[in-house]
Amino acid sequence: MSSHGPAVALTARAGGALNGVADVPGDKSISHRALILGALSVGETVVTGLLEGQDVLDTAKAMRAFGAEVMRDEDGTWHVYGVGVGGFAEPGQVIDCGNSGTGVRLIMGAMATCPITATFTGDASLNSRPMARVTDPLALFGARAVGRAGGRLPMTIVGAADPVPVRYATPVPSAQVKSAVLLAGLNAPGQTVVIEREATRDHTERMLAGFGAEIVSEQTDEGRVITLTGRPELRPQTIAVPRDPSSAAFPVCAALIVPGSDVVVPNIGLNPTRAGLFYTLQEMGADLVFENMREEGGEPVADLRARFSPDLKGIEVPAERAASMIDEYPVLSVVAAFAAGETYMPGVKELRVKESDRIDAMAKGLRAAGVSVDEGEDWWRVHGRGHGAVPGGVTVETHLDHRIAMSFLVMGLATQAPMTVDDGGPIATSFPVFRDLMAGLGAQIEG
């Protein structure tokens, strides 16, 4: 089982305003997809701005194991020489996806309609997460899966030698499940259809179209219906990965709660399937503006400017917005602690099956730090204490979850007493430069 090495405790303390420009790294979701689709096209795909976090590096390694050539230039440009749809070779070793649910689920989809067998594993967090949500639809294509009890990794997938196309309505709002089905559908003859009741991030659909696949999305009474025509010849692309709105969330939220702060986070993708947090913060009274709104590569992009916001108020976050900000609830709950009144967050059951049970992990840490939290299976409520009134002064458990670690470190920049996380190591999975970037703004985070 993989692990990131010995735990590294980190402590964040209040120490003055945050100021400056925060250049956050490339989008994690788009980075995984660029490597996988590059590996499934014939010829050279060139990727700039790739997130070089451990999750994505594990996907690069996996693509090599399936036969693609993946190289990095000294200047950080990546080159993928793909093997084509249906061209994956059988890996000679177990595929270790580390901490990454996106990596393992998308790769399982991509190999499930190839006549090969592969075994997948990950760290303790990933090996406790549910995989049946992916292996159930992959079985409809003709693939077989054998894993541990409860559909957990380590798991072996025997790809379908003679795959059939599938029509599948996703039972949970999950871009990973949708993407696994679409990637499997690439090597099935005919049309594969995915129906999702709530729209989730659409990077796979956009990128498949960019690589030349025939893919159509329609909004119907059933929800979003996505139809992919199988066995396309994917054409290699040049991809500039936009910066990650989920990483931007941390310096943005820190600026809102630390008195005197003024931070600009440039070039952030505001794809509507990802940008829910920023609209939620504005509804809470945040001084958060989108500057230089423009289009790049078919995506809305802006520079985010966040300033200390003394009058934050709690709100009800609409349940239908959950998919567009699912990774941002942990740091939103931190901002909610510094707001006046209650922030109610319904429709978020999926938070319980992320890198950790994120409602449980945040609720425990917030309560220890002096903030009351109520919770149910699919909702939670944070009782804000207002600025300057959050005690802090505790060590919290991060459960191998990068976003829990970063959320509590952001919190510690504005609590009365410092906040310590038991292990900052997992931050490297998605945001390896987090500490340096925050230090550059003036944050005091020490190991």
In the bound state with ligand S3P, the residue whose beta carbon lies nearer, of 55 and 423, is 55
Determine if 350 is a binding residue for ligand S3P (CB under 6 A): yes
Closest alpha carbon to 183 in 106, 119, 97: 106
Q: Which span (118-126, 173-181, 285-293, 295-303) binds ligand S3P, by CB under 6 A?
A: 173-181
Is the CB of residue 103 less than 8 Å from the CB of residue 121? Answer: no
Give the torsion sign (CA, 31, 35, 36, 42): positive
User: Binding of ligand S3P at residue 201 (CB under 6 A)?
Assistant: yes
Q: Is 327 in the site for ligand S3P (CB under 6 A)?
A: yes
Of 327, 360, 378, 401, which is the active-site residue? 327
369 binds ligand S3P (CB under 6 A): no
356 contributes a contact to ligand S3P by CB under 6 A: no
Instruction: Count the site residues for ligand S3P by CB under 6 A.
Output: 11
Does residue 407 touch ligand S3P according to CB under 6 A? no
Contact positions with ligand S3P (CB under 6 A) in 17-36 = 29
54 lies in the binding site for ligand S3P (CB under 6 A): no
Choosing from 174, 187, 309, 398, the residue that interacts with ligand S3P (CB under 6 A) is 174
Site for ligand S3P contains 100 (CB under 6 A): no
| Residue 17, C-beta contacts closer than 8 angstroms, at least 6 positions apart | 258, 259, 260, 261, 262, 308, 442
- Which of 176, 187, 237, 247: binder of ligand S3P (CB under 6 A)? 176
Cα torsion for 398, 125, 104, 229, to the nearest 10°? Answer: -70
Residue 296, token pair as written in the block: 């790049």
Comparison of 179 and 192: residue with beta carbon closer to ligand S3P: 179
Long-range Cβ contacts of 2-8 (<8 Å, 24+ apart)? 2/96, 2/98, 2/121, 2/122, 2/123, 3/123, 3/124, 4/54, 4/98, 4/99, 4/123, 4/425, 4/426, 4/428, 4/429, 5/425, 6/425, 7/422, 7/423, 7/425, 8/423, 8/424, 8/425, 8/447
Q: Which stretch binds ligand S3P (CB under 6 A): 44-52, 170-178, 220-228, 337-345?
A: 170-178
Spatial separation of the C-alpha atoms in residues 341 and 118, rounded to whole Å = 51
- Smallest gap from residue 438 Cβ to ligand S3P (A): 21
Out of 60, 80, 326, 421, which residue is the one contacting ligand S3P (CB under 6 A)?
326
| 37 lies in the binding site for ligand S3P (CB under 6 A) | no
Q: Does 125 bind ligand S3P (CB under 6 A)?
A: no
**Is 327 annotated in the active site?**
yes
For strands 379-385 and 340-346, give the pairing: antiparallel
- CB of residue 146 vs ligand S3P: minimum separation in angstroms? 22
In angstroms, the CA 35 to CA 43 distance is 13
Binders of ligand S3P among residues 262 to 281 (CB under 6 A) are none
Name the site residues for ligand S3P (rule: CB under 6 A). 29, 102, 174-176, 179, 201, 326-327, 350, 354
* Enzyme catalytic residues: 327
